[in-house]
Structure 1
């Protein structure tokens, strides 16, 4: 499987489910997982974007350790993609506008959880490696992006 083929799979899955699980490492070295709404943006290959509040704990965790893993899966869990990489925490107005244009309509839960604050920042995951699983078929492909 090529990088392009794998990223196309990610795009197809996200177009349907609109969610993924992000794993970070906390201050004590323990993994922390949470559901997020990630997206790909055309013209920005091999990068996954999401937004968060600058007031959430994950931002402190990411500033201390930018290594992350995402898990994105179909509703039937017959296709699962794990993406490993580094997150850049961005507070640039241009990238915020671009990501919000892509994700805005899918963020109802984010705004409900973040109702006291209207500010947000962008999490830019630079994908270094991805593994595509088809558990029922015993298929596993790992692609390096380095």
Structure 2
């Protein structure tokens, strides 16, 4: 659960040189309360995009989302783990683009841990089919770069995750 105060964007105080501001912005937009758009690549090399929610980001720059085990995006990620995510604030004045590597987690103990860390489970529509199909999996994304833009203010800044004063994150795995 995120106990930090909600980050608010103010173009007069946002410092594009301050990676802490950008990290705060990233955390506020992927806090599990805003849907994001996940882009993967299909077998023919075409981009595929879809809305995603049910997010858990406790170990940012690693974060998770849940999906049906038989979803097309699962096979797409297994074949090409490069993904992009896009998040935006409520008035669409600020866009956050995250790119990195994704992997599929299907270990039951790890899934249980991720499930518990998801704050908003109201969009787990894939669970409606749970009794008819094989369960769910988690998509684990390790962010490698962040781009923030605000067309109205002319703001555009790209920061590699290594420049965000973050310690390298360890992908989530269950411990026994």
- Provide TM-score, normalisation by structure 2: 0.72
Q: 1:140 to 1:27 in 2, by over 3 A?
A: same
User: How many correspondences in the alignment?
Assistant: 145
CA distance in 2, matches of 1:98, 1:120: 13
Where do 1:115-134 residues align within 5 Å? 116-117=132-133, 119-134=135-150
CA distance in 2, matches of 1:16, 1:41: 7
Q: Which has the higher helix share?
A: 1
CA distance in 1, matches of 2:75, 2:21: 34
Q: 1:106 to 1:14 in 2, by over 3 A?
A: farther
Matched, 1:21 2:37: yes
**More RCO (CA 8 Å, sep 6+):** 1
CA distance in 1, matches of 2:128, 2:89: 25
1:51 aligns to what? 66
Greater Cα shift, 31-40 or 19-28: 31-40
Give the 4+ runs in structure 1 shifted more than 4 A: 1-4, 112-115
Asked if the contact 1:17–1:74 (Cα under 8 Å) also holds between the matched residues in 2, the reply is no
Question: 5+ residue gaps in structure 1?
Answer: none
- What is the RMSD computed on CA atoms of the aligned residues? 2.2
- Provide TM-score, normalisation by structure 1: 0.85
Matched, 1:39 2:17: no
After superposition, what is the alpha-carbon deviation per residue over 1:53-90, rounded to whole angstroms, capped at 9, x for unaligned? 12111111111100000000112111110000010111
